[in-house]
Amino acid sequence: MSLWELPPAAFLFAAAVLFAGGLVKGILGIALPLVGIPLLTFIMPVQSAIAVMAAPVLLGNLQQLHQAQGRRAIFKRLWPLLAALVTGIVIGVHLLAGSDAEVVLLLLAVAIVVFVAINFLAPRLAMPPRLERPLGVLAGGLGGLLGGMTSIYGPPIILYVLAMRPPRETFIAYMAVILLTGTIPLYTTLALYGILGWEEGLFSLLLVAPVLLGMAVGRRVRGLIPEERFRLVIMLMLLVVSANLVRKALFPD
């Protein structure tokens, strides 16, 4: 079924989902696809849900990067992770083109649960400086591989950045650089493989406004959340998303 044949209620649902995703991204600096894609699969196939996130994710990440401070220093520090991320994304999209969507969603859900468990079991998790570069390559490659298959490449990278123990605003700046670096090759490769076409692209443009509105509201709320609660919200959010992915994988529509 064409996306344009969806009933009006489905369009309203998609707008509400993207507003919620923008709200979470405005507060945490992450998680727009984490919130959006699993919920959009209630009204469309998973590959379509991945594709229609293109414009909201790209513009949301551009806006977040524009507000980030010290972008040049961040790129210089994280370039091994960023290079591995791009490589992993290209490989992941190739796998997505021939993969069973339910299997991909289940594997991603398991990965999210593992990363959240590690965080809760090691609340004082910190990364020795000598391991920063090799672990960055590992996190970037794994995140890119998962992102290419699902467009959700945050969990391993979030864990890596949290292990750097940055303050909240620094965390958001790091994620802005990482997310935008991944977004461009992700959706370019999806277009080359025919997963992101004109229909998905036009539908995607309709979802930009609710995302930007949600982000604006989220940024106003962000300053009201204490540092430790901010970190806890990230982990709890990932658990909720992983539960929905398991549901979708085990009980497909």
Residue 240 has pLDDT above 80, yes or no: no
Provide the pLDDT for residue 123: 54
74-95 pLDDT, tens digit each: 999 999 999 999 999 999 888 8
More confident residue, 113 or 164: 164
CA distances from 153 to 36, 43, 124 (A): 13, 22, 23
CA distances from 40 to 37, 86, 189, 213, 240 (A): 5, 25, 21, 18, 15
Q: Which amino acid is at 83?
A: A
Q: What is the mean pLDDT of residues 208-223?
A: 88
53-75 pLDDT, tens digit each: 999 999 888 888 887 778 889 99
Residues in the chain, total: 253
Total structural domains within the chain: 1
> CB–CB of 161/230 below 8 Å?
no
169, exposed or middle or buried, with CB in 10 Å at 0-12, 13-18, 19+? middle
Provide the pLDDT for residue 60: 85
What is the extent of the structural domain holding 154?
A: 3-250
Q: What is the mean pLDDT of residues 165-170?
A: 82
Q: Measured between alpha carbons, how far is 167 from 162 in angstroms, rounded to an integer?
A: 9
Give the angle 12-16-20 at the CA atoms, nearest 5°: 170
